[in-house]
Amino acid sequence: MAVFTPVSDDDARAYLRAYDIGELIHLEGIEEGVSNTNFKVETTTGLYALTLFEAATPWDDLPWFMDYTLYLDRKGYPAPGPALKRDGSSLGEINGKPCALIRWLPGRWPRNPDVRHAASAGEYLARLHIDGGDFPQIRGNSMGIDMWPHLISRCDPAAQGSPRAQAILEDFRGELTWLEQHWPADLPRGAIHADYFTDNVLMNEDGQVTGVIDYYYACTDFYAYDLAVALNAWGFTPGGQPLPHMIHAFANAYNDLRPLSPAEVDALPLLARGSAMRFTLTRLYDLLNHDPSWVVKPKDPEAFYRRLDYHRAVSSGSDYF
């Protein structure tokens, strides 16, 4: 249940007065999601998502996230651009939390994705990179390679009581040294999603993308790193076993629309290793520091740790196609 901050009908009605998007008809808390508080809002003019940003989302970067999604939306990409208030702004505050009303997108994220879903998702990741290619603002990757040493040391204190966590962190110290030595200095870069997981991609019943949501890790980084994150998300079972047909379907659909350079293909195994480490570390931290009384269940770090075996074993980046 992810309604961390309550919002009453009266709060929503008062908030809507700053906009020209009609009167409140219905307000409903959304249980999914672990980072922010989300509501579905129906007004006399349409449907919106009301997001109250909790501490996990960097508040200083909210204007970047709003500008980026508005930019994509205006290009015709299915991103939920923010509704604008009469004064032209997109951010407000409810019950002490910054908030925004964003466009509600149709569709449902695929619970059992197959190659059709993977191909459509791959196409829309390429479209995201193409449509956002000239977005002029820069945001560094707050979960990128420079942060990984900090993610490792952040896990250390709580890992003391867990031999398994200590073993993973020990492996990661060596892995990080290797990644730092081989990380590409330059590859095509621009605005990336950085969290293109199945639960952030909405689809219709034909398995075609209808919306891409949750841009709160979006940043400026290598496009091929975004592809590597997405291959980790779409190309494995929930437990972390590789699904080569899903990896190929996703990567080929991406490559059909935005052909990768030879340097990007060469870098893919390394970028995929880095990405698998990044999600293992954030999940490990959440698990080690989880209070059992919290309603939100931590995600499994082992499932991401297992992905590393696959990426360490591939012979070259062309194995992903």
Ligand X SMILES: Nc1ncnc2c1ncn2[C@@H]1O[C@H](COP(=O)(O)OP(=O)(O)OP(=O)(O)O)[C@@H](O)[C@H]1O
Ligand Y SMILES: N[C@@H](CCO)C(=O)O
Task: Kindly list the residues in this chain that would bind ligand X in the complex (CB under 6 A).
Answer: 2, 30, 32-36, 38, 49, 80, 102, 104-105, 109, 199, 211, 213-214
3-state secondary structure of 191: strand
Q: Which residue number, 60 or 186, has a Cβ lying nearer to ligand X?
A: 60
Min separation Cβ 169 and ligand X, Å: 23
Beta partners for residue 192, in sequence order? 219
Min separation Cβ 270 and ligand Y, Å: 20
* Alpha-helical regions (H) of 58-101: 62-74
Min separation Cβ 16 and ligand Y, Å: 29
Q: Which does 280 bind (CB under 5 to 8 A by kind): ligand X, ligand Y, none?
A: none
Q: Is 148 in the site for ligand Y (CB under 6 A)?
A: no
Give the C-alpha separation, 267 to 148, whole Å. 18
Stretch binding ligand Y (CB under 6 A), from 64-72, 82-90, 178-186, 275-283: 275-283
Single residue of 225, 279, 305, 310 touching ligand Y by CB under 6 A: 279
Q: Which does 122 bind (CB under 5 to 8 A by kind): ligand X, ligand Y, none?
A: none
Q: Is 283 in the site for ligand Y (CB under 6 A)?
A: yes
Q: Which residue number, 199 or 266, has a Cβ lying nearer to ligand Y?
A: 199
Counting other chains too, the contacts that 237-243 makes at CB distance below 8 Å and 24 or more residues apart are: 238/303, 239/300, 239/303, 239/306, 240/302, 240/303, 240/304, 240/305, 240/306, 240/307, 241/306, 242/307, 242/310
Single residue of 197, 302, 314, 321 touching ligand Y by CB under 6 A: 197
Q: Which does 283 bind (CB under 5 to 8 A by kind): ligand Y, ligand X, none?
A: ligand Y
Min separation Cβ 243 and ligand X, Å: 22
Give the C-alpha separation, 197 to 213, whole Å. 10
- 10 Å CB burial of residue 132 (0-12, 13-18, 19+) is buried
